[in-house]
Amino acid sequence: MLRKPRRRVNNDPISVPRVFTDDEVRDALLEHIWVMIRYWQNIEKPLADRLEGLAFSILAMLDGSSVAITGFQVIPAPHKEDAAFHKEHGENWFPYSKQQAHDIGGGLHELFHDVGRKLGYLPREEKVQ
């Protein structure tokens, strides 16, 4: 997990609060995923339930619902030539953008079970009348 810097001693620049580096953020993300893997690995439930729980936990983390780490933007990153290729083949393509205009994060874990039901992986919810 991301660690707080130690207390500032004699104006030591290493201990001055600062923004995390890209490497530190990447390490924190991967460490958090491994913590979740270990958590779900040790739950006494059927494998399918544990895999679903792990996927849900990862999506919730990306959405910013974890108290241990910040949320992350999820943006498509197709090759620059994908649009031309798919257009030529009469197919739709993912948007290309260097900007963060196509962030799909923020509600992934809330949509997770709805998509599972839509794909037939989960039973449909009965409507309450």
Express each pLDDT in 5-58 by its tens digit.
444 455 666 678 998 988 888 889 899 999 999 999 999 999 999 999 999 999
pTM for the predicted model, two decimal places: 0.73
Q: Which residue has the higher pLDDT, 128 or 104?
A: 104
What pLDDT is stored for residue 73 in this prediction?
85
E strand or H helix at 51, and its extent?
helix 47-63
The rounded mean pLDDT for the chain is: 84
3-state SS assignment for residue 126: coil
3-state SS assignment for residue 100: coil
Closest by alpha carbon to 104, among 113, 94, 118?
94
Listed by start position, the domains of the chain span 1-71+106-129, 74-104
Please report, for residues 11, 24, 57, 68, 102, the alpha-carbon distance to residue 31 in angstroms, rounded to integers and kept in the order given: 30, 10, 14, 11, 26
